[in-house]
Structure formats: C-alpha cells, structure tokens
C-alpha cells in the first residue's frame, strides 16, 4: 500500500494502550502475505518473522498504541469521568471530541467545558484538573449510557482525523507511533524477496505509553542480538519553545537518539547509524539528550543486553490530537532502517 494511505489508515485507527486490536488487524493484512509467521502474545504484541540464513535475530520495533483515556465513572445523569492512559497535558482536554469504543461499536462524545459567559476571568487562565472534567455523550442517565455499552473501563481517544497539509506534511492523532508502524511495514516489504543472513523479527508492541510494558515481554521472547526502534519524537521548532529545549527539528530528516531517560545509545550503534546515513546521503539529525523515552529502554536491557538504536520522525504537538509531521522525515527513517539492515551483517555481527 502507498505510504501515505497506509499512514492515514493507521493514524485513523482506534488504539489506546492495551486496546490496539484494530491497529493490529490493519498491520496483519499488510505483513501476513510477506512474513513466514505472525504471532501474538498474551499482552498484545504482534511479531512478524522473516526467517534468514541463521537464527541470529535482528529486531525492528514500533509501538501500536497511542495515548488515550479510560472511563472511570458514570454518574446518574449520564456524564462520564475518565482517567488517562499515557502522558497527557490536561490543558488539552476541555472542549475536545472523543471516541469511545464499546463491545457494540464506537460512541462519540465531547469533553465539556464552562463557556466564558459564565466563568470569572481568573478561572479562564487556569488549567482544569482531569478529575474535574466530564464527557457528555448526549444521554440523560446512567442506564442510557449502559445501553450504549459505556461502563467503567471503556477505552477512548481524542479525535484527530488525518489531514494532508501543504508540502509533504500532514496532521493527525497517533503519529506516535503509527508512523513507526508504517515504517516497520515498509522495511519488511523491502526484504520480502530477500534471504537475509539473519532472521528478521518485526515487532508491533503494545502499551509503550504505559511504561514500555509490551517491549518488556516481547524482547525476552524474541531474544534479539541487535534492535532498531522506529519512533515518533518531539519536535520543538514552533513558537514558544527555545532552541535548547527543542529535542529535534521537523523536516531536518530522521532523528537519532544519543541518550534519553531510558537508554544511552551505545557509541558503536550511534556511529554506525550516522555513518550509514552519511554513506547513503540520508538527511539525519541528532536528538538532544535527555528528552523522552522509548521501547529501546526495555529492549537494550533484556537478557544479556542488546545493541539498540532509535530512529525517529520529528513530530510537533505529539501526545495531542493534532500532531504535525513531514512525510519526508518518515521517508528518511525508512531509508535509513533499510540501509542499516543491509550493513548490519558486515559491521555489527
Ligand atoms: Zn512513541
């Protein structure tokens, strides 16, 4: 499938942490025809395997989940309270639209806010704690909400449909990390007719946003020797962010992690990725330490240690419903991952 269409479908899919089944179904359609085996584990990781000339494993990882919400309480009038799944800034919530997923389908709703007509000026400048917010799904009672399948534990997301922007840019929710998922599929497609010297495992990980939970168990099962994590990371090149607090820049190419809160990239791996990028003339940049964290944090510490690198697409306003990326950067990430896989047997194994 064409990259932009694939990315659009993946971003529009519903998949907060722990509820990524729609995303997995889309990915499965793409990888099943080209993989030797596709397996899912108890937590919700899905791994596509491509058997090579040896049993030594190289892992490509991307996480399927997006930051989301979960209904915590339904009151007598049918208003819903919610908890957060993953790292949110509560200032984004008031007045936004949500989609909740029940056993029988999707339910739309609005996170209510008090209009300026009835608030005092000093109230308008304050952030409202999430616990004080409520979702309105247009019902009048707890029973009506229950008829729609809304109960404590119902998962949800903030709406943010995929929209193309000028140039090669786009706006959507969930680029973190559906951009990585799209890239991982494209990398797998590239080698569909090739017998690699090693076995390739492409893992689509669950629950990264809840503390790298999926990667913790998948890296044990897959037992890789080398891993590349494909991510979307924070670009800070917009008004209000000083340069020293901007982890990377949109449209400047794929971002390489030097160190973040979960991993210090081995200088051997970082040098390798930089040299492969230079040799292949792939635009790339170093991501400023120490912002963020990725599945690499768990993967590199699994078993007896895994040589791990992180490639990321810079995304503005990530962990929000209207993130912006440049597809040129995504293309750079795909090209570098492909070039690295070709070089790994010569340089790292
Ligand atoms: Zn991510």
Residue 300 among known ligand-binding residues = no
Q: Is the pLDDT of residue 121 over 90?
A: no
Q: Is 121 or 209 the better-scoring residue by pLDDT?
A: 209
pLDDT in tens, 136-166: 999 999 999 999 999 999 999 999 999 999 9
Closest to 25 (Cα-Cα) out of 64, 57, 77: 64
The confidence score (pLDDT) of residue 64 equals 98
Distance separating alpha carbons of residues 214 and 46, to the nearest angstrom: 10
pLDDT at 127 over 90: no
Which of 208, 275, 281, 343 is flagged as catalytic? Answer: 208
Instruction: Report the Cα 221 to chain-centroid distance in Å.
Output: 21
Determine which helix (DSSP H) or strand (DSSP E) holds 80, and give its type and residue range: strand 80-85
CA of 174 to the centre of ligand 1 (A): 9
Whether 275 is catalytic is: no
Burial tier of 166 (Cβ tally within 10 Å: 0-12, 13-18, 19+)? exposed
Residue 124 has pLDDT above 90, yes or no: no
- Beta carbons of 340 and 277 less than 8 angstroms apart: no
Q: Is 233 in contact with 247 (CB distance < 8 Å)? A: yes
Task: Give the model's pLDDT for residue 111.
Answer: 98
Helix/strand/coil for 101 = strand
pLDDT, tens digit, for every residue of 28-55?
Answer: 999 999 999 999 999 999 999 999 999 9
Indicate the angle between helix axes 267-279 and 327-347, nearest 10 degrees: 110
Rounded average pLDDT over 217-224: 98
Whether 343 has a pLDDT exceeding 90, the answer reads yes
Q: What is the largest CA-CA distance in the chain?
A: 69
231 belongs to an annotated ligand binding site: yes
232 CA to centre of ligand 1 in angstroms: 6
Looking at the predicted structure, is the pLDDT value of residue 115 above 90? no
Record the tokens describing residue 91, joined without a space: 């200032």
Within 8 A by CB and 6+ apart from 347, the residues are 272
Residue 289 CB-density burial (10 A; 0-12 exposed, 13-18 middle, 19+ buried): middle
Domains and CATH numbers, the chain: 3-66+173-347 (3.40.630.10), 69-158 (2.40.30.40)
Cβ proximity of 225 and 58 under 8 Å: yes
189 marked among binding-site residues: no
240 Rama class: left (phi>0) / alpha (psi -120 to 50) / beta:
left
Q: Contact 54/124 with Cβ under 8 angstroms?
A: no
Rounded to the nearest whole angstrom, what is the distance from the C-alpha of residue 154 to the centroid of ligand 1?
22
pTM, entire model:
0.97
């Amino acid at each position: 499938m064409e990259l932009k269409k694939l990315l659009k479908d993946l971003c529009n899919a519903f998949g907060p942490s722990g509820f990524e089944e729609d995303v997995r179904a889309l990915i499965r359609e793409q990888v099943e025809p080209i993989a030797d085996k596709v397996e899912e584990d108890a937590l919700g990781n899905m791994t596509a395997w491509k058997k090579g000339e040896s049993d030594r494993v190289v892992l490509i990882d991307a996480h399927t989940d997006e930051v989301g919400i979960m209904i915590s309480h339904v009151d007598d009038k049918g208003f819903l309270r919610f908890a957060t799944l993953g790292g949110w800034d509560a200032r984004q919530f008031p007045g936004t639209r949500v989609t909740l997923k029940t056993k029988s389908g999707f339910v739309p709703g609005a996170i209510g806010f008090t209009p300026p007509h009835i608030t005092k000026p000093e109230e308008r400048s304050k952030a409202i704690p999430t616990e004080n917010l409520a979702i309105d799904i247009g019902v009048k009672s707890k029973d009506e909400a229950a008829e729609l399948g809304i109960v404590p534990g119902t998962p949800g997301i903030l709406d943010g449909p995929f929209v193309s922007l000028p140039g090669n840019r786009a706006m959507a929710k969930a680029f973190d990390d559906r951009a990585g998922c799209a890239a991982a599929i494209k990398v797998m497609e590239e080698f569909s007719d090739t017998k690699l010297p090693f076995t390739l495992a492409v893992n689509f990980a669950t629950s990264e946003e809840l503390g790298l939970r999926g990667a913790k168990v998948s890296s044990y099962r897959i037992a890789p020797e080398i891993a590349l994590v494909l991510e979307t990371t924070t670009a800070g090149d917009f008004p209000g962010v000083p340069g020293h607090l901007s982890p990377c820049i949109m449209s400047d190419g794929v971002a390489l992690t030097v160190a973040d809160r979960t991993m210090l990239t081995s200088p051997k791996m970082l040098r390798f990725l930089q040299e492969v990028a230079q040799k292949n003339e792939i635009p790339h940049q170093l991501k400023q330490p120490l912002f963020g964290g990725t599945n690499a944090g768990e993967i590199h510490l699994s078993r007896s240690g895994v040589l791990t690198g992180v490639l990321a697409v810079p995304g503005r306003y990530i962990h929000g419903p209207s993130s912006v990326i440049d597809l040129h950067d995504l293309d750079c990430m795909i090209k570098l991952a492909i070039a690295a896989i070709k070089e790994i047997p010569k340089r790292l194994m």
